[in-house]
Amino acid sequence: MNTTDEFIMEGFCTHDKVPSLVNDLLTAEVWMSKIFPLIKEDVAKLSGIKSYLCLYHEASICNLMEVMFYHRTACESNEDALVEVIDYCYRKFVNMTREGDFYVKR
C-alpha cells in the first residue's frame, strides 16, 4: 500500500472487503425495517443511546462507502457490489418520496 491519505480505501480494495461492507449495509437495512420496529419500544425503555446506535450503524456504513466510491479504483474493483448499492439507494429514495408525500397530504 502507498503512504497516501486513502490507505483505508486501498485496504478495502486490496483485500476485497467492499462486498462484505455492502453485505453489512444490506443486513443493517433489513434489520432496521423488519426487526427494529418489533423491539423499538423495549430498547427505548432501556436507553436512548442504544436505539440511536442502531440507526447510526447504517449511516456510518453509507458514509464510508460514499467516501470510498469517490475513487475510481474502488468503483472499478467492485462492479458487482455496485449493483447492490444502486439498488439500496433506489429503495431509500423511493421510501423518502413516499414518506414525503404522506407528510404533504397531512
pLDDT in tens, 52-106: 887 899 999 999 888 888 888 888 887 788 899 999 999 999 988 888 777 776 6
For residue 77, give every residue at least 6 positions away whose Cβ sits within 8 Å of its Cβ, in sequence order, or none: 13, 16, 18
Phi-psi region of 16 (alpha: psi -120 to 50; beta: other; left: phi over 0): left
Residue 40 binned pLDDT confidence (cut-offs 50, 70, 90): confident
pTM above 0.85, yes or no: no
Q: How far apart are CA 103 and CA 57, in angstroms?
A: 26
1 pLDDT exceeds 70?
no
The predicted structure's pLDDT at residue 26? 93
Confidence of residue 23 (pLDDT cuts 50, 70, 90): very high
